[in-house]
Structure 1
């Protein structure tokens, strides 16, 4: 027995994990791939072990993309395998995992959803609640931001635009003044990728419209949706957005803005470090962040991303797993991930924390954007929802479908899915 205990301790140390003395409960956590910073998650697990010496937390990683991670978890959870106790999932997936019976609702352990999620950013009240149950807890946030060339707006004495019409006018003024044929006014993602779902939703939401109700039922306003798509096409015709926008992917926007070829760019939080820190960036020290513009008479809204912690329905240690999740979703954990990894906080107050602002100065501006975040359509069949929106949006931007035709197609496909 003594040799076995010593061997177990040695193995844990070899994995870079301090072995808790007399650990009685072992929890295995799937912490995603490199994009979810498992190196920092391991440090949080170590902190938890120190506070809870009766618990040993083992970490599993894998999958370079959200899709690959989902495929792996689907295999494990479909088999009702109890090997994984806690796992990380994309913000679009709680409804899918809940519907499949793969996650343990957390109400019995952390309280009713309204109370449990009250301290967090507002959008979590819809993103992490399914059928009135607390399906998951926030790990770290993400959102689409409007990055812009601060130097160029200052040069032409232009204030941050509040509407898409104002942005179009500002972009045209700067493009004309710079006389650079390669300078784009605005870069958005129009390729049939997940980003195109947000490209569809941004102008739609900013008209005060909802895509689905609290139960996940489709509430699409077709006229507003067509107006939003027409907004993008109008900016293409004005020379603000480039003509091949239906081919633009997330990395394209990043690389072109970084090269100084874009005035305004819509992209995720990770892009800031690329713009500011990459050695080949031509926009270092010239970047601003502002809320996304709205349609005339509307209100700014942005598309949120990020990751959530869920407890497996097949875990043999559900109560202890929920306790770990509560720690991982705490303000202290959120601050740690912000300072150490520039991961967007899940609490509004953390964005203005002195230590966070010192480590990541742009988060002070980021907080005003994320507060207006909205989650993508809640559905147990999100993959089908995403496919319908992104492929059709790309087709409209490629002008193979008219806006009204594309919206009618989206509604027809989703009416059967989002009942």
Structure 2
């Protein structure tokens, strides 16, 4: 799941969001700190007509095709795409500004799976009756769970995500090594590849380490891969542990040794993808969307046909992915909610999800697509990805998620950049999370 997703339309959306934010501030609007733990009741989902779909920047290039398919069949219920910035943090900020102003500028929201609790508790999105979405039972159960808050449905999962390890198969084959299952095996593979003429200057490993949502994901995967947890099953933070320290230390040591290139501290999904496609990395942790782009034969990728994917490695065995993906929700203040329901069902359908994976390689939520022989031939990562999503761990499901992820990012970034010793970073994070996460 990337944390991102013409220009005229985008500029208008930004301007509207900014104006609404100022209006909300001037009128003493809700600052988002108030939570309604009861969750709003399911509002009337009626009314048809034009709607707006607010989503992150579409780097896949296929969203227009998907929306056009709807518009061609529903000319009186046209969907207009409002593209928000590439950064997930900026997307969330603009959606919250829109909600705090009680604006109907956005109708359907493309929400990162970890935003469900925050948006539902603040009544920024509408509770959805499950009988309005008859295909829910055909989706991967773990993805449906991300769209619920206090056992009530607030969205429909349209794309899922699990982290994958992209690797240069050509170089591993030449060096005589297999895809790694542990961090030590990954380092050993890089050391062997370094002895090859074409491997002398190539970087070993990278992920997403800029201070944004992707760092929360990569930090969580490192902790989980070492046997730790960020938040336990009891809902309490648990990062001041030897396991969490081992996970963070793996990343810190990677930067210190050069195994992780210094430039990776600025990597989000797209810069990392471009580095891998330019042939500058042996291994890269990224999402499934990258597969189709890296395999293009139009000259944009130097590694087309030369790479493969594997599960993420861990400290002593295979690692654990963070569960990603996006859910489509309905703005509480929107008009034409009947059209919004129909549009969400359309986009979540097996037909549209199949069309999307064929064009973009993004992970679907429709379970049967993972077992489709034709799709598996084109996208050989589907079987391990299904297993990855099934065993993936969620980021903290908390109402104050924005504050929680900011605390995680600051602690992890401080350790990676050498400004805070890893153990101090984790003890400080434990104290901070304890004040933010309440039951």
TM-score, normalised on structure 1? 0.81
Q: 2:135–2:349: 8 Å Cα contact kept in structure 1?
A: no
Deviation at 1:208, TM superposition (A): 4.3
Structure 1 counterpart of 2:313: 293
Q: In the alignment, which residue of structure 1 is the partner of 2:49?
A: 26
Bigger Rg, structure 1 or 2: 1
Q: 1:30 to 1:280 in 2, by over 3 A?
A: closer
Q: How many residues get paired?
A: 389
Residue from 36, 41, 61 that aligns with 2:66: 41
- For 1:352-363, what aligned pairs fall within 5 Å after superposition? 352-357=371-376, 360=379, 363=382
1:91 maps to which residue?
Answer: 113
Distance 1:148 1:110, change over 3 A: same
TM-score normalized by structure 2? Answer: 0.77
* Structure 2: runs of 5+ lacking an equivalent: 1-46
After TM superposition, list the pairs within 5 Å mapping 1:145-156 onto structure 2: 145-156=164-175
* Shift in Å, 1:358: 5.7
SS at structure 2 position matched to 1:230: helix
Q: Secondary structure at the match of 2:326?
A: strand
* CA 349–219 in structure 1, closer or farther in 2 if over 3 Å, else same: farther
Larger displacement relative to structure 2 (374-383 or 241-250): 241-250
State how 1:135-174 maps to structure 2 within 5 Å: 135-174=154-193
2:103 is matched with: 81
1:62 aligns with 2:86: no
Q: 1:406 to 1:315 in 2, by over 3 A?
A: same
Cα displacement string for residues 130-174 of structure 1 (whole angstroms, at most 9, x for unaligned residues): 122212111222333210010111112212211112212222222
Partner of 1:336: 355
Distance 1:343 1:235, change over 3 A: closer
Runs of 5+ unmatched residues, structure 1: 1-23
- Could you say if the C-alpha distance between residues 355 and 44 of structure 1 is closer, same or farther in structure 2, counting changes exceeding 3 Å? farther
- Matching residue within 364, 371, 375 for 1:345: 364
Partner residue, 1:410: 429
Deviates most, 139-148 or 403-412? 139-148
Alpha-carbon contact 2:114-2:395 (below 8 Å) kept: yes
Give distance in 2, aligned partners of 1:179 and 1:60.
44
Equivalent of 2:212, from 176, 180, 193? 193
Whether 2:299 is the aligned partner of 1:279: answer yes
